[in-house]
Structure 1
Amino acid sequence: MANSTLTISSKNYSSWSLRGWLLCRLAGLEFDEVPVDLDDPDTRQELLLLSPSVLVPRLQHGDVAVWDTLAIANYLNEEFPEAKLLPTEKAKRAHCRAVSGEIHSGFYNLRSALPMNLKAKHQKFKIFSGARPDVERVKELWAECLDAYGGPFLFGRPTMADAMWAPVCTRFNTYAVPLEPKLQAYVDAVLDWDLMKEWTAGAVAEPDEILELEVEF
């Protein structure tokens, strides 16, 4: 049994769980997954908040407990510097932190309009007007990173930023959001990432009876 555990919820729906899991795997941490009971009222209330959850993801690393995805990311970066969750160059590292923080604290309309659902695939989907500025900001931010660092990931190789933005890649894929070629290539690179394939396989294997939530997340 590993010395660490990561508490997560639905692999199909929980974007915060996905971020925490990717960060731990990127860091090279050996951990056991601890799923929460999705039928528990407290768990459901967490999932309906559309915000970083107290319950998930939650990393227990030895005697240290860390929740909130950015807190987990920064802790893992300190504990496993050789994994290079952040770029080594100062300016690039600062940029990566800013890019990671932006998705962590914003884009509420995008989250509401395009909830993560790895099992679904729309051929066409109308995005309501309130979410369109969020989508355009995502495109702008991704293009800035890809132009600056050459891709295929936001900072060249997989970093904290890609773990934070991976759920948005799945949303754009699920809802057929039109993207210019370089942005679509980024989404394709993330979805073809071995870690994402592993997570997606787990999502597909989940039972369908957890589909019904009062608010999508």
Structure 2
Amino acid sequence: MYVLHIANKNYSSWSLRPWVLLHALGIPFEERLLPFPPDGDWSAFRALSPTGQVPLLEDAGTVVWDSLAIVEYLAERHSGVWPEDAAARAWARCAAAEMHAGFQALRGTCPMNCGIRARFERLPPALAADVARVEALWNDGLARFGGPFLAGAAFTAADAFFAPVAFRVQSYALPLRGPAADYAQRLLALPAMRDWYRAALAESWRERGHEAAVAAAVGEVEDLRG
């Protein structure tokens, strides 16, 4: 059975991507959660992963340590990771790669924190540009392939890569228009996403860096965590 190593569900957007894909496709795996260190000691992560980061997938001695590489590893062994239609598959791969490599303002200004609610009085220009690109990309995929998911009728890796953005939309009240707004809610309503969210709210761990980044970006924050 696969073993997927992840970090805190409240913070770890990269961990969510393969986790939600495995759940959505019904692929059995064992979850092992290693919290971000509150004291700044990352030695446990460096001992686990060549990069000192998660997610990391183990499969009978094979170690895959990057989220996009994990997706491609799974795609070689399971159907449904990418769309069957060639055009939809090409689009989905482009969308996932764009998310994997881009949207730096969205990542930096709105770090994933499932359990908080905050609102920008005005979006910084770079963040506004990233949100506009997310909206355009989502609306394009939904219109091009008919929805309800980005590349057609089924949840694929493209949706998994944008699942953390749905949590950011919820946490920071990011404005989306058209079908993209409904799509964000559709992702949040998925059973696997709701399970992740409940677990995130229940976590007792706090990591100073993530918390400070949120406070610096938006100031006043409502904390829903227990």
Please give the alpha-carbon distance, in whole angstroms, between the structure 2 residues aligned to 1:21 and 1:154.
18
Please give the alpha-carbon distance, in whole angstroms, between the structure 1 residues aligned to 2:108 and 2:182.
25
What is aligned with 1:146? 142
Aligned partner of residue 34 in structure 1, secondary structure: strand
Deviations 1:189-216 (A, max 9, x none): 0000111011111101101x41421664
**Does the 8 A contact of 1:149 with 1:155 survive in 2?**
yes
TM-superposed CA distance for 1:155, in Å, is 1.5
Please give the alpha-carbon distance, in whole angstroms, between the structure 2 residues aligned to 1:34 and 1:109.
30
- Scaled by the length of structure 1, what TM-score is found? 0.87
Please give the alpha-carbon distance, in whole angstroms, between the structure 2 residues aligned to 1:18 and 1:9.
9
Aligned partner of residue 73 in structure 2, secondary structure: helix
What is aligned with 1:71? 69
2:197 partner letter: T
Aligned partner of residue 87 in structure 1, secondary structure: coil
What is aligned with 1:41? 41
Aligned partner of residue 65 in structure 1, secondary structure: strand
Please give the alpha-carbon distance, in whole angstroms, between the structure 2 residues aligned to 1:132 and 1:197.
27
Deviations 1:74-129 (A, max 9, x none): 11111112xx1111111111111001100000111110111111101235553212
TM-superposed CA distance for 1:179, in Å, is 1.6
Please give the alpha-carbon distance, in whole angstroms, between the structure 2 residues aligned to 1:85 and 1:194.
18
What RMSD in Å do the two structures reach over aligned CA positions? Answer: 2.1
Aligned partner of residue 5 in structure 1, secondary structure: strand
1:146 partner letter: L
What is aligned with 2:130? 134
Please give the alpha-carbon distance, in whole angstroms, between the structure 1 residues aligned to 2:179 and 2:43.
38
2:185 partner letter: D
**Does the 8 A contact of 2:92 with 2:157 survive in 1?**
yes
Alpha-carbon spacing, 1:128–1:200, altered in 2? closer, same or farther (3 Å): same
Please give the alpha-carbon distance, in whole angstroms, between the structure 2 residues aligned to 1:100 and 1:174.
22
1:187 paired with 2:181, answer: no
2:60 partner letter: G
Alpha-carbon spacing, 1:202–1:155, altered in 2? closer, same or farther (3 Å): same
- Scaled by the length of structure 2, what TM-score is found? 0.84
What is aligned with 1:113? 109
What is aligned with 1:95? 91
Please give the alpha-carbon distance, in whole angstroms, between the structure 2 residues aligned to 1:108 and 1:54.
21
Alpha-carbon spacing, 1:181–1:164, altered in 2? closer, same or farther (3 Å): same
**Residue of structure 2 aligned with 1:21, choices 16, 19, 22:** 19
What is aligned with 1:49? none
**Does the 8 A contact of 1:70 with 1:104 survive in 2?**
yes
TM-superposed CA distance for 1:183, in Å, is 1.2
TM-superposed CA distance for 1:25, in Å, is 2.0
Please give the alpha-carbon distance, in whole angstroms, between the structure 2 residues aligned to 1:22 and 1:146.
20
**How many residues were matched structurally?**
206
Please give the alpha-carbon distance, in whole angstroms, between the structure 1 residues aligned to 2:109 and 2:125.
10
**Residue of structure 2 aligned with 1:212, choices 208, 214, 225:** 208
TM-superposed CA distance for 1:28, in Å, is 2.7
Please give the alpha-carbon distance, in whole angstroms, between the structure 2 residues aligned to 1:132 and 1:45.
33
TM-superposed CA distance for 1:181, in Å, is 3.6
1:155 paired with 2:151, answer: yes
